[in-house]
Amino acid sequence: MPENSILLIGVFPLASGGRKAVCEEMAERLQAAGWRVYCASAKTGRIARLLDMLWTAWTNRRSYSMAHVEVFSGPAFVWAEVVSLLLWLLNKPQFFTLHGGNLPAFSRQRPNRVAALLRRAVAVTAPSRYLYEQMIPYRQDLVLLPNALDLDQHHFRVRSRPAPRLIWVRSFHRIYNPQLAVEALARLTPEFPDIQLTMLGPDKDGSLEMVRETAKYRGILDRITFAGAVSKSQVPGWLDRADIFLNTTNIDNMPLSVLEAMASGLCVVTTDVGGIPYLASHGKDALLVPPDDAEALAGAVQALLRSPDLAGRLSVNARHTACQYDWRLILPKWLDLFGTVEAGKLVTTS
């Protein structure tokens, strides 16, 4: 069995709306470092994806020496449970990474089930301090290993005098509350008549049509550009054309979309939920507002447009924060972690 070979189990591009998923980015980085990488799954549909994961794990069992599995809440948790059981039967060392702002609530309802899964892993990583602190009851030796981005892909420009060009980047889904951005825009329009909002992302649950209807009702539909799902390589260009980034989510962990905006030097206004306050500090590198509060969101944008000193300070500090998450710093930590296991030998805490 070749050394430096790994199976990555997670949600790959076709299942994530066109943008690169975290596991795809890891696959590319490991391949560039000389690893042989097997991936699953890009299938759509829960059953098809699970079957593809199991098939890939089984048919390539003699070709990979270890596996990395992404652990989400909800139905996706079942993928991790079932695939992990197969990997355990195959005597493959497993590494898990925890994902999703809803995973702590999910785990509180199923503590024994979650702890049982995590015990199968050689190591379990958390991509944010928030998930680390929330999930430590289920596995005491969690490893804090943040999500990463390619800093070189994001052109940095200081927004010391931001124009009223807003951007929102996320899937159109109720948990990300895209309508909040529209409501804030409606409140800002009277003072800033040339304000514009660009919204990037695929529609996941019909929220896009609801956003359009809200914008039409508010009389601001002509101020919004709906760009749809775009590839990850296109995101930096869209960010570069904007000055203020809106993150309106109700549930979050460590969103790469916010990190990418910070890397580009945008002034970030975000809801203060989940792992966000672990990533950004209010008044230092972002402005944090309560969730589902259009007045507060609009007020934060208003403050940025009125105060060049505040905007410039946040912009510079945001880039400094993003620099801590560059792949050149994070990948060696992954390689060190994978290097702690002898190929083909399962180590478990159970």
Q: What angle do CA 156, 319, 181 make, to 5 degrees?
A: 85
Q: What digits encode the pLDDT tens for the residues 121-142?
A: 999 999 999 999 999 999 999 9
Which among 191, 210, 208, 190 is positioned nearest to 199, based on CA atoms? 208
What is the spatial distance between Cα 251 and Cα 253, in angstroms, rounded to a whole number? 7
Q: What digits encode the pLDDT tens for the residues 172-189?
A: 999 999 999 999 999 999
The residue ranges of every structural domain in the chain are 5-148+327-338, 151-325
Q: What digits encode the pLDDT tens for the residues 320-334?
A: 999 999 999 999 999
> Would you say residue 308 has pLDDT above 90?
yes
- What is the three-class DSSP state of 304? helix
Q: Give pLDDT, residue 348.
A: 38
Q: Give pLDDT, residue 86.
A: 98
- What is the three-class DSSP state of 168? strand
Q: What is the pTM of this model?
A: 0.88
Contact 301/188 with Cβ under 8 angstroms? Answer: yes
Please, what's the largest Cα pairwise distance for the chain? 66
What is the spatial distance between Cα 262 and Cα 279, in angstroms, rounded to a whole number? 11
Determine the residue type at 175.
Answer: I
Rg, the chain, Cα only: 21
Best CATH choice for the domain 151-325 from the list 3.40.1280.10, 3.40.50.300, 3.40.50.2000, 3.40.50.10860: 3.40.50.2000
Architecture of the structural domain at 5-148+327-338: 3-Layer(aba) Sandwich (3.40)
- CA 111 to chain CA centroid, nearest Å: 24
Q: What digits encode the pLDDT tens for the residues 29-67?
A: 999 999 999 999 988 888 999 999 999 999 999 999 999
Contact 349/94 with Cβ under 8 angstroms? Answer: no
Q: What digits encode the pLDDT tens for the residues 3-39?
A: 799 999 998 764 444 456 778 889 999 999 999 999 9
The yes-or-no answer to whether 5-148+327-338 and 151-325 have a common fold is yes
Contact 282/271 with Cβ under 8 angstroms? Answer: no
